[in-house]
Amino acid sequence: MSLADTIDRLTTWIGRAAAWLCLFIVVAQFTVVLMRYGFGTGSAKLTESIVYAHAALFMLAAAWTLRDGRHVRVDIFYADAEPRRKALVDLLGALFLLMPFALSLLMLSLPYVARSWSILERSRETSGLPFVYLLKTLIPVFALLLVLQGISQAIRAASALSTRAGDS
């Protein structure tokens, strides 16, 4: 199970690091509101940085959320199921739902991100952030992290199924 443990440690570390973006989002949003209503001014860069941070938070912490079982799940099949059935649902879900989605997203996003990098895409706002290509890079990173976490989930589920089968 060391591969699954390594993947879990990686996604946990990335998720916890990304969670700090929540603090930045709150402070930056407070600053935007204070600037707008207190001083009658604004900042496109600060406003866009909130959007970037929110996107990074979501995309970098999604695999961690999956790892901890905090994602949205169809509970009619899972909530009251026995451990063996949960392992089967986790295995089938990882192999036939999560992996095809994440791999498709990864493959489809690469040309999109490559085009953005080739022109070093910038904000449409004149005074906006010049890092749109970095923001778009989060899409394949998100997909890759989901693939990795799906592998971990499948390993753990298969192990649970084989252990349970041997115990009976």
Arithmetic mean of pLDDT over the chain: 93
Predicted confidence (pLDDT) at residue 71 exceeds the cutoff of 80:
no
Q: How far apart are CA 105 and CA 103, in angstroms?
A: 5
Nearest alpha carbon to residue 152 among 76, 97, 99: 99
Instruction: Compare 166 and 88 and report the one with higher pLDDT.
Output: 88
Report which DSSP code applies to 96.
I
* pLDDT > 90 in the chain, percent: 82
Give the pLDDT score at 31: 97
Give the pLDDT score at 135: 96
Average pLDDT over residues 106-132: 95
pTM assigned to the model: 0.90
Average pLDDT over residues 107-120: 98
For 78, phi and psi rounded to 5 degrees?
-120, -40
In this prediction, residue 81 has a pLDDT band, given cuts at 50, 70 and 90, of confident
Q: How far apart are CA 13 and CA 18, in angstroms?
A: 9
In this prediction, residue 165 has a pLDDT band, given cuts at 50, 70 and 90, of low
Predicted confidence (pLDDT) at residue 164 exceeds the cutoff of 70:
no
Angle (deg, nearest 10), helices 132-167 and 99-118: 160
**What would the pLDDT profile of 19-59 be if each residue is shown by its tens digit?**
999 999 999 999 999 999 999 999 999 999 999 999 999 99
Q: How far apart are CA 130 and CA 120, in angstroms?
A: 8
* pLDDT > 70 in the chain, percent: 95
Q: By CB neighbour count within 10 A (0-12 exposed, 13-18 middle, 19+ buried), where does 142 fall?
A: buried
With beta carbons less than 8 A apart as the criterion, state whether 143 and 109 touch.
yes
Predicted confidence (pLDDT) at residue 152 exceeds the cutoff of 90:
yes
Give the pLDDT score at 15: 97
Give the pLDDT score at 1: 64
